[in-house]
Structure 1
């Protein structure tokens, strides 16, 4: 069974907004957060929205990791003769998978339970994906033979990468200032209800809103792969019974291979393999 690869960016565009909107509405309706720009993690900290947040964002992390691997395979097929690009592509793969794992940590380890683990996941997800974007932007300028390649898209990716970097830095700075100016020092650790009379309120709003911008920039960046992903398909894992000959009571290898091919309905594919 095969599927067009451009379905992956589409799924990413659907899952993240769906996750954020559902958990935000649930958290606001139940009174767990204020409607004025809470952090994304705050909307998925308290049950029952934390359950929905963990499931949907966990699926998003899995799809994100799959799309990153597919992109690695795609670039590897067209830069295998250039060692520098091969190493950069592998480094991008490691960074991308690490950031996906960070997203998974954010989804399943709430800040009220393990704040250190949650923050580590947040750093891995935001910083890791940011560096991954820099690698992919550079590869977009260097590998121009990929089917579906468009020159204007590489410039678009560069702009998104710069905006992502600026917003990440601004989010951290504004969040640090908001925490330092918060009057209620006892509530610094877990603060889900900010009011206009609180110190650092405007800085908090700026930090939280920029965090949402960073998250959606990531989705838009993955969406830029849709044209290149649309030029090839990926095949789902195949189940091959290595003891088929024994089950049939024969040692004929050709009979086993013929039977397997009938089950999987595959044809030889001369394309390059990913290691």
Structure 2
């Protein structure tokens, strides 16, 4: 049996590959069409104009759907572990689930409302995605430590701690520097007054995004250990 056929590990594997491809493909298309600069545009800049905006929106929506499936599967896995060990409080596990789903909602908003046409809605969706996404991986790191040694190995947990710490540290300059970026345009120049803030914000934004994606790589070994089944019950009415 191939590794990706074990349990549900294809879910996080697909999520990581597809989400990474979303950012990379839209960036390459925008770059080839000279719609963005080579050096660290905002992620949303790479999907601001057609045709890359169409590809970015579709692929981001698929990523959000894969994220929902992966986050829910992780929730059920932790729930199953806690049934026997009682190491994780149900409220903590549910909180991580809801926050993770909110981050996927933010992705859907980003995919639907383009940066240049609906700026406020797009920025609100991006902020929702980043805040909820970083909060989710922090909660999952806490849960991983509580579940140990029943779940992942200590090395995997340390990797999760590193990734969540990196994402948290990069999140703050992403938001703070963005407040000093006044011009909404795709091409920027070093002579622009807000260029240093835009560059710092964009670099940190890419760091947060790929940290969030890479975090799901650490789920693969866990997801090899379980499957989910749908149970259908038919009720007869008299």
**TM (normalized to structure 2)?**
0.89
Question: Unaligned 5+ residue runs, structure 1?
Answer: 180-187, 244-275
Structure 2 partner of 1:164: 167
2:119 is aligned with 1:115: yes
Counterpart in 2 of 1:229? Answer: 223
CA-to-aligned-CA distance 1:68-102 (integer Å, 9 cap, x gap): 00000000112237496110000110000010111
1:240 positional shift: 7.7
Unmatched segments (≥5 aa) in structure 2: none
1:28 maps onto 2:31 in alignment? yes
The yes-or-no answer on 1:155 pairing with 2:158 is: yes
Superposition misfits of 4+ residues, deviation over 3 angstroms: 80-84, 237-243
State the shift of 1:162 in Å: 1.2
- What is the Cα deviation at residue 198 of structure 1? 1.0
Larger Rg, first or second structure (1 or 2): 1
* Aligned residue number for residue 60 of structure 2: 57
Maintained 8 Å contact 2:109/2:121? yes
For 2:67 and 2:99, the matched residues in 1 are separated by 12
Residues 182-235 of structure 1 deviation map (CA, whole Å, 9 limit, x = unaligned): xxxxxx2x2211011111212211211211111110111111111111112234
Structure 2 vs 1, CA of residues 216 and 227 (structure 1 numbering), >3 Å: closer, same or farther?
A: same
**Contact kept? 2:12, 2:216, Cα under 8 Å:** yes
Aligned residues: 231
* Deviation of 1:124 (Å): 1.3
Equivalent residue, structure 1, for 2:146: 142
**3-state SS of paired residue (2:228):** strand
| SS in structure 1 of the partner of residue 46 of structure 2 | helix
What pairs with 1:4-153 in structure 2 (closer than 5 Å)? 4-80=7-83, 82=86, 85-144=89-148, 146-147=150-151, 149-153=152-156
Q: Is the 8 A contact 2:178 2:197 kept in 1?
A: yes
Moved more, 42-51 or 167-176: 167-176
Structure 2 residue aligned with 1:261: none
Could you tell me the TM-score, scaled by structure 1's length?
0.78
Match of 2:199 among 194, 197, 205: 205
Q: Deviations over 1:39-93 (max 9, x none)?
A: 0111111111111001111111110111000000000112237496110000110
Task: Report if aligned partners of 1:168, 1:214 keep a CA contact under 8 Å in 2.
Answer: yes
Is contact 2:181-2:197 (8 Å) kept?
yes
Q: Verify the 8 A CA contact 2:20 2:213 in the aligned structure 1.
A: no
Give me the whole-angstrom Cα distance separating, in 2, the residues matched to 1:106 and 1:195. 25
- Per the TM alignment, residue 238 of structure 1 is displaced from its structure 2 partner at its CA by 7.1
